[in-house]
Amino acid sequence: MSTGFIILALITIAGAIGAMNCGRLVHCALSLVASFAGLAGIYLQLNVWFVGVAQILVYVGAVAILIVVALLVTRNAESDRQNEGSKGWIAGGSVALLVFILLAGALSNTAVTGAATLAPDSSVETIGRRMMTLYVIPLEALALLLTAALLGAVVIALGGPKPGRASK
């Protein structure tokens, strides 16, 4: 393993742990940004350029910033602790450890014969052309679904009309 991979893996793991354990929701979201950025670095180091750049643009650049802005707009940033965590962390940790052991056992029994080779038509240009021609309808449907989910999250975050406030 290279030193760069180890550093990126540590950034990704530290960001994920921070996203679960930070006291304030804004800090959790910023830790999630660090985890997304670490994953993008790993993709780029593996020469999966399209996925790495898409990870940076979509998750680090758009989704994470949207989460941070939504939290800052809808939550009281001055309250003490907003993320108290779950009471069943021992059960969750046990399940995660069991899944890790099962996956590690399955991976240790497989034979890796060499480096994977890319298909001849897996360039960024080819992927882009296919997404904008062959898969444009599913892409637009996904965009509409994500927009509806975002609007639903905003409606839930804002809640219903407040007492003493006139609704328009």
Query: Could you report the per-residue pLDDT of 52-68, keeping only the tens digit for each?
Result: 888 898 888 887 778 77
Does residue 2 belong to any structural domain of this protein?
yes
Residue 101 lies in a domain: no
Distance (Å, whole) CA 123 – CA 134: 16
- Are 74 and 10 within one domain? yes
27, 18 in Cβ contact below 8 A? yes
> The whole model's pTM is what?
0.59
Residues 3 and 55 in one domain: yes
Q: Are residues 13 and 73 located together in one domain of the fold?
A: yes
Q: Which residues form the domain of 41?
A: 1-78
The count of structural domains within the chain is: 2
**Final residue belonging to a domain, choices 47, 78, 109:** 78
1 with 74, same domain: the answer is: yes
pLDDT over threshold 70, residue 83: no
Query: What DSSP string describes the chain?
Result: --HHHHHHHHHHHHHHHHHHH-SSHHHHHHHHHHHHHHHHHHHHHTT-HHHHHHIIIIIIIIIHHHHHHHHHHHS-TTSS-S----TTHHHHHHHHHHHHHHHHHHHHTSPP-S-----TT-SHHHHHHHHHHTTHHHHHHHHHHHHHHHHHHHHHHH-SPPTT----
Same domain as 2, residue 70: yes
Range of weakest confidence among 35-39, 68-72, 155-159, 162-166: 162-166
**Of 46, 78, 110, which residue is a domain's last?**
78
Q: Assign 115 a pLDDT band (cuts: 50, 70, 90).
A: low
Residue 28 near residue 18 (C-beta atoms within 8 A): yes
Q: What pLDDT was estimated at residue 34?
A: 92
The verdict on residue 164 lying in a domain is no
Q: Output the domain CATH number for residue 39.
A: 1.20.120.1200
- Give me the mean pLDDT over the 39-56 stretch: 89
pLDDT at 102 over 60: yes
Residue 116 lies in a domain: no
Is the predicted pLDDT of residue 160 greater than 80, yes or no?
no
Which residue among 78, 105, 139 closes a domain? 78
Question: Do 125 and 74 have their domain in common?
Answer: no
